[in-house]
Chain A
Amino acid sequence: MTENPRAEAVRATFAQIPQVAALGIVIEELSEGVARMTMPYDPQLVGDPATGVMHGGAVSTLLDSCSGAAVGCHPQATGQTATIDLRINYIRPAAPGQAITARAHCYHVTRSFAFIRATAHDEDTSLPVAEAVGTFTFNAEPQVEA
């Protein structure tokens, strides 16, 4: 697979994010406007001790990270991205013991805003555990004055 030219910069940035490292999130794929990442199952991230299901907050962080990377990989988005709005539906509990994989698609950008859709799955790919819709901003590259 040919890597998106922006992928290298996104990878370098992600390698320096402490929260991404703390959750053990790894990048699986970066292509034009698309990112895929996996977060391994970790007992530290459990939200319901009775069932061992990971907390929605950890899934939010995975979806937010993956969405930010998808924006970063969009050819018209430049500079650093920041989340303005993230709406998440928790569709079903993730299976305890299984890694969660998120896929985000930045499907449109304007001059300074980017729109994303994302889903998160465990090993059962027939129904996502969560889905997200988000809006991001990015710093436009400095324009040369005419």
Chain B
Amino acid sequence: MQPNDPAIRWAEEPKLGLAGKMYLPLFFQGLTTTARHLVSPKVTVSYPDQEPQIDNPLIYRGVHRLNKDEQGRVKCVACFLCATACPAHCIDIVGVESPWPDREKYPESFTIDELRCIYCGMCEEACPVDAIELTSLYNLTGRSREEMVFDKEKLLSVYDETKDKEPMRSLPIAAPRPE
């Protein structure tokens, strides 16, 4: 691109007045800005002493949970869409024939490796029945790698733990729609 290209918009420096050339406005601007920030409220959260405020738990991406339907059964239908969508390949599902009449399959086992997971939320988006969701639990720790592989019972217990604070994204599927 040449300097006389019409697409270039040349911005002119603002002309300095006498005060500007004396550096006085810059001097006082700089000092007042720093002095103001010196005493302004701090944004740091002192974590172990102070819990962070999560603005909207519904869109926070923390530990996973497996939702239950109104009869207490796991909502998952073992369709494998979450496992397919997962970029970290951390979801492992064994689907078997469902004992219930309203679906064909259900997960016999459902494990998520919380250490491999990158908390991107794609499983949540892929799920057609809103069975897998990310909660706002952020302080996940464990003493071994095995402990951090969450199985179906653990994921369902996360649901029990968080269902009051964080409602499901979609309401449970109500009675069949009138024909």
Partners in one complex: no
**Which B residues contact A (CB, under 8 angstroms)?**
none
